[in-house]
């Protein structure tokens, strides 16, 4: 299991498609800060947060990494002119995993899961 605590909430495979500069395997995108100042930042350091998916014990970051190679291949093929319908299953999974990367959705799932568990525990008592 990866010990990485830096989690990208926007995957680098998407960030790299907006690169303004690429040197070797390193890409930079423009970032505008809250005060309006713009600067180039590495995609390694963009859209990243510490323990965004919880600690490494959640396994979510590692699960997302497994899908990203497939997503990258599908996006590259579509960018090269392939019919997007050929990759509809893969692109659908991409959309769902992007939604899983939102803290709000995960928080709602956690809240609903806790409520369901509470009801189940109450039912078991009766």
Determine the Cα–Cα distance for residues 63 and 71; give it in Å rounded to an integer: 13
Which residue, 70, 64, 75, 67, is CA-closest to 14? 75
Determine the Cα–Cα distance for residues 64 and 83; give it in Å rounded to an integer: 25
Q: Calculate the alpha carbon distances from 94 to 21, 66, 68, 71, 98 in Å.
A: 25, 12, 8, 6, 6
Residue 47 CB neighbours (<10 A): 18
pLDDT in tens, 6-49: 888 889 999 999 999 999 999 999 999 889 999 999 999 998 88
Q: What is the pTM of this model?
A: 0.68
Q: Are 7 and 44 a contacting pair, CB within 8 Å?
A: no
pLDDT in tens, 66-79: 888 899 999 999 99
């Amino acid at each position: 299991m990866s010990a990485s605590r830096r989690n990208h909430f926007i995957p680098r495979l998407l960030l790299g498609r907006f690169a303004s500069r690429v040197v070797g395997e390193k890409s930079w995108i423009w970032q505008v800060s809250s005060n309006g100042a713009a600067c180039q930042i590495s995609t390694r350091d963009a859209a990243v947060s510490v323990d965004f998916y919880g600690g490494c014990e959640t396994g979510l970051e590692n699960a997302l990494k497994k899908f990203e190679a497939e997503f990258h291949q599908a996006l590259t093929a579509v960018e090269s002119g392939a019919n997007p319908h050929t990759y509809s299953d893969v692109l659908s999974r991409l959309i769902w995993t992007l939604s899983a990367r939102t803290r709000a959705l995960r928080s709602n799932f956690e809240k609903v899961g806790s409520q369901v568990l509470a009801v189940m525990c109450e039912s078991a008592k009766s």
